Structure 1
Amino acid sequence: MSHFLEGGDVHPGFSCVITPVDGATVLSLSGELDIATAAECGRGLAEAVASSEPARVVVDMKGVEFCDSSGLSVLISALTGAEASGGVLVLCELHPRIRRVLTLTGLSRRFRTYDTVPEAIAALPRPITS
């Protein structure tokens, strides 16, 4: 069951939708990820990371064609938070411009990226059950 994130700073043209899929949390982003939307995206990322223990988060960026340093900052923060709790956060469906930004900034070495949501989910480590 998907849900849109609600917040006081909702910006037209930007959306965060969280969907549980096969034991993972998929956060689908759409719109520009910039200084105007970074706080809203950060809330969505925090909710996605906190939704399972350990975090198993796929950030679907299919609808994002622009990302500035504020957007990169919230993605890095979410990745760091997921890893600190023993979880994982990956990116998928990157627009060529976003992929280029990650490469130019060296963040392509920090983020695992995949072509599709199913491919990303399949690559996530399975949680250890006792």
Structure 2
Amino acid sequence: MFPSNPFYGDDPLVIQVQASASAAAVVTMSGEVDVCNYARMQQVVIDLLLHKRPAHVLLDMGKVTFLDAAGIRALLTCRYDAEQLGIRLKICAAHKRVRWVLTVCDAEHLLH
């Protein structure tokens, strides 16, 4: 586990999960997904996949202003794990910075 980012003090990532009896679950994030907190984001999604088993998981990253390589890898891992369980996972909203990083890294398929 990585310590909090020394430049920000507290973890700059906020995660909220809305999962009900409906077919889709929404994970809303705001702040930054980076090497200091990607594991927490990944664990939240994995727990949702394993315990709630929604048909779809929508990641709302409209308020995520920074995404580094560790965050991208975590998203790809979550997508793979979801597919293995027959669950569709996609980013339903992405901040322009996140969209740009995903495009540059050839990972924009997470948006569809």
TM-score by length of 1: 0.71
**1:13 maps onto 2:12 in alignment:** yes
Q: What do you get for the CA RMSD once the two structures are aligned?
A: 1.9
Question: In 1, distance between residues paired with 2:19 and 2:53?
Answer: 13
- Contact 2:11-2:37 at 8 Å conserved across structures: no
Q: Structure 1 residues 51, 62: closer, same or farther in 2, change over 3 A? A: farther
Could you tell me which runs of 5 or more consecutive residues in structure 1 were left unpaired when the two chains were aligned: 1-8, 114-130
Aligned residues: 104
Superposition map of 1:1-130 within 5 A: 11-20=10-19, 22-53=22-53, 55-108=55-108, 110-113=109-112
Could you tell me which runs of 5 or more consecutive residues in structure 2 were left unpaired when the two chains were aligned: 5-9
Per residue, is there more strand in 1 or in 2?
2
Q: Percent identity?
A: 27
Question: In 1, distance between residues paired with 2:39 and 2:55?
Answer: 20
Bigger relative contact order (CA 8 A; separation at least 6): 2
4+ residue runs of structure 1 moved beyond 6 angstroms? none
Q: Structure 1 residues 27, 54: closer, same or farther in 2, change over 3 A? A: closer
TM-score by length of 2: 0.82
Match of 2:81, SS state, is helix
Q: Displacement of 1:51 after TM fit? A: 3.7
Question: In 2, distance between residues paired with 1:28 and 1:65?
Answer: 13
